[in-house]
Structure 1
Amino acid sequence: MTDYVFEVMKQFPGSFINYNNELILIPKTNLYVGLYNVNTPTDLKFKLLEWCSRDCIYALRYSQEWRNRRYQDDVLSRINKCLGTNFTREEMELIYERLGYSCNRELTMKFVSSGYDMKLLEER
């Protein structure tokens, strides 16, 4: 488990774990996932999808649209590296709509265990 956390942190330079057991991925924008109830690498993958998918497509952290787009693309690229995936913006939008903010943990579990089969999200 610890090894995977460190692998994720490598994709997010400057990331750290704070005293609340939160993995702060991007301190400047406060993109983070809570590490409570994370016991396996798969648990962390659930959280990365559920809690970071919004920043991949909708985050408005800057006043200029091009900066927001660059930030979103950067987060998407890093999440893809962490998960070993190649999600597009459109696919990540669907992931956010179906799984974002842990709105359907059962579906998240099925999605990850299926090897990220997008058909599972399109069926809903």
Structure 2
Amino acid sequence: MNVFENREIRNRLRAAFPKFFVNSLYEIIIYPARNSYFLLEGLETEEELKAKILEWLSREASKSISRVSQKYHLNGINAFLNTDFSPSDMVEIYTYLGNRCNHEKTLRFIRSGYDMAVLDEGGA
């Protein structure tokens, strides 16, 4: 079962990212104006969804040329993950986890309760 089939998770995602929709390619378009998205394919657990959110939305939340988009993404990430990341935290998250550059570290970061010290740890 795809995690997106869970109504509670869909509702939380909608509350966090009110502009999102799913297109015919099974992509979650988070913010149409900036075309921020990720694929739904293979998302079986909430942890995998959280990882995709961090890995694929952290750039827009930290380095967007649009302040409106940056705020939308940062607020949405914080709302969905129940975190309080600052803009500078998000720069660090993007640096170490963005574009899925280190998925194992992303999973450790999530499992740690989003302990920022995990990002500075060496290794995969």
Which TM-score tier does this pair reach, normalised by the shorter chain?
Answer: 0.7 to 0.9
Query: Unaligned 5+ residue runs, structure 2?
Result: none
Show the counterpart of 1:9: 14
Residues 9, 25 of structure 1: 8 Å contact kept: no
Q: What residue is the counterpart of 2:105 in the other structure?
A: 107
Aligned to 2:114: 116
Secondary structure in structure 2 of the residue aligned to 1:85: coil
Q: TM-score, normalised by structure 2?
A: 0.87
Cα deviation, 1:20-47, whole Å, max 9, x if unaligned, reads 1111111121111211110111110000
2:36 pairs with 1:51: no
The residue identity in structure 2 corresponding to 1:30 is: N
Aligned partners of 1:34, 1:22: CA distance in 2, in Å?
A: 4
What displacement does 1:70 show? 3.2
Alignment gaps of 5+ in structure 1: 61-67
Secondary structure of 1:28's counterpart equals helix
Partner Cα distance (1:101, 1:56) in 2: 13
Out of 3-12 and 33-42, give the one that drifted further.
3-12
Q: Deviations over 1:66-112 (max 9, x none)?
A: xx223212210111001000001111111100000001000001000
Asked if 2 retains the 8 angstrom alpha-carbon contact of 1:56 and 1:92, the reply is yes
Could you tell me how far 1:9 is from its partner in structure 2?
A: 2.1
Q: What is the identity percentage for the equivalent residue pairs of Structure 1 and Structure 2? A: 38
